């Protein structure tokens, strides 16, 4: 049966069957994976991917959440959706990224939602939960420490060394040439070495090889020098999961994160490295469900 569609006040295309396939904000069109449960949804979970992932990062997590009666919205974020790749680094500042997520929630009719973010999606999740506690019921953050904890760890740990790649990404054009060498083989090999399964590494690398895709994704890093203001403490319930062998974040930053959460906080270390949605979907889904139960 072919569903008919209608346009929501938020500007997205919303299907009568409950699914949002795309939504629009400021002339940009974002792709969305909308995983619906059988029957009426008992809540909405917003899942935000990182670099260089896309919404497929949540494909093994979403069925576990929909089985519990939750609706899961997983957008291809700014720079990753083909219709939402604006030029220039100013388009990728954090307020724009937060506003994109709120626009999706509005298009889906979700006044309140549970939030999950990994890597850069975690940065957005921390900021959104801190700035809009009235919209966020709970937050589950994967890998990424609270930004204030990360910043404070730079001079007290190995964090500066672990973050050297961020400085490298500031160089115009060179990262694109290096990572997309041999039709993206360099990026693909890097992702596999970092622990991603081959099929997912292939898929992410193919997406980054699309015209303008990698430059848009790197815009998130290149916008860092333009950042104004800092992410404050978070008052909503937070679950923080981090990989024991994650090379990106120092133990000092991980341990300091709890001090920046005013709401109920729980933390768990998982075996493995950085790619928690893909490599530990069961543990991620369980953590999200614990956060949901806290607010029931």
Does pLDDT of 58 surpass 70?
yes
What is the per-residue pLDDT for 182?
Answer: 87
8 lies in a domain? no
Q: How confident is the model at residue 227 (pLDDT cuts 50, 70, 90)?
A: confident
Report yes or no on 290 lying in a domain.
yes
Most confident region among 6-10, 91-95, 291-295 by mean pLDDT: 91-95
CA–CA gap between residue 142 and residue 130 (Å, rounded): 16
Q: What is the CATH number of the domain that holds 114?
A: 3.40.50.1820
User: 237 lies in a domain?
Assistant: yes
Confirm whether 261 is domain-assigned.
yes
So what's the pLDDT on residue 10?
A: 31
pLDDT at 34 (0 to 100) = 97
pLDDT tens profile 39-50: 889 999 999 999
| 9: confidence class by pLDDT, cuts 50, 70, 90 | very low
Number of H helices, E strands in the chain: 13, 10
Angle between helices 198-208 and 181-193 (to 10 degrees): 140
In a domain, 75, yes or no: yes
Number of domains in the chain: 1
Q: What is the 3-state secondary structure (H, E, C) of 63-112?
A: HHHHCCCCEEEEECCCCCCCCCCCCCHHHHCHHHHHHHHHHHHHHCCCCC
The residue assigned the tokens 């720079």 is 79
Specify if 280 maps to a domain.
yes
pLDDT at 22: 97
Question: pLDDT at position 80, please?
Answer: 98
Q: Judge whether residue 2 has pLDDT over 70.
A: no
Q: What average pLDDT does this structure show over 208-223?
A: 97
User: 0.85 exceeded by the pTM?
Assistant: yes
Does 121 reside within a domain? Answer: yes
pLDDT bracket for residue 253 (50, 70, 90): very high
Nearest to 100 by CA among 11, 223, 14, 7: 11
Q: How many CA atoms lie within 13 A of 108 on its CB side?
A: 32
For the chain, give the percent of residues with pLDDT over 90: 90
pLDDT of the residue at 15? 30
* Residue 102: CA count within 13 A, CB half-sphere: 17
Domain of 51 in residue numbering reads as 32-294
Domain membership of residue 120 (yes or no) is yes
């Amino acid at each position: 049966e072919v569903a008919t569609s209608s346009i929501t006040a938020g500007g997205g295309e919303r299907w009568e069957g409950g699914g949002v396939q795309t939504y629009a904000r400021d002339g940009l069109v974002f792709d969305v994976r909308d995983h619906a449960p059988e029957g009426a949804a008992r809540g909405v979970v917003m899942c935000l991917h990182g670099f260089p992932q896309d919404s497929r990062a949540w494909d093994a997590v979403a069925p576990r959440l929909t089985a519990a009666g939750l609706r899961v919205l997983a957008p291809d974020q700014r720079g990753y959706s083909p219709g939402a790749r604006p030029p220039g680094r100013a388009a990728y500042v954090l307020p724009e990224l937060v506003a994109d997520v709120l626009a999706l929630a509005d298009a889906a009719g979700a006044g309140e939602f549970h939030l999950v973010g990994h890597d850069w999606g975690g940065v957005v999740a921390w900021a959104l939960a801190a700035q809009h506690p009235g919209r966020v019921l709970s937050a589950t953050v994967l890998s990424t420490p609270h930004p204030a904890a990360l910043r404070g760890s730079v001079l007290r740990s190995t964090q500066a060394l672990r973050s050297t790649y961020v400085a490298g990404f500031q160089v115009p054009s060179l990262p694109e040439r290096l990572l997309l060498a041999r039709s993206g083989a360099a990026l693909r090999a890097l992702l596999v070495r970092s622990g991603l399964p081959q099929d997912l590494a292939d898929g992410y690398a193919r997406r980054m090889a699309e015209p303008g895709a990698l430059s848009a994704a790197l815009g998130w890093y290149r916008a860092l020098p333009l950042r104004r203001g800092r992410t404050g403490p978070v008052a909503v319930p937070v679950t923080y999961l981090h990989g024991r062998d994650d090379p990106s974040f120092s133990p000092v930053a991980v341990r300091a994160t709890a001090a920046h959460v005013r709401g109920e906080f729980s933390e768990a270390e998982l075996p493995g490295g950085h790619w928690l949605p893909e490599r530990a979907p069961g543990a991620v889904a369980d953590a999200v469900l614990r956060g949901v139960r806290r607010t029931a």
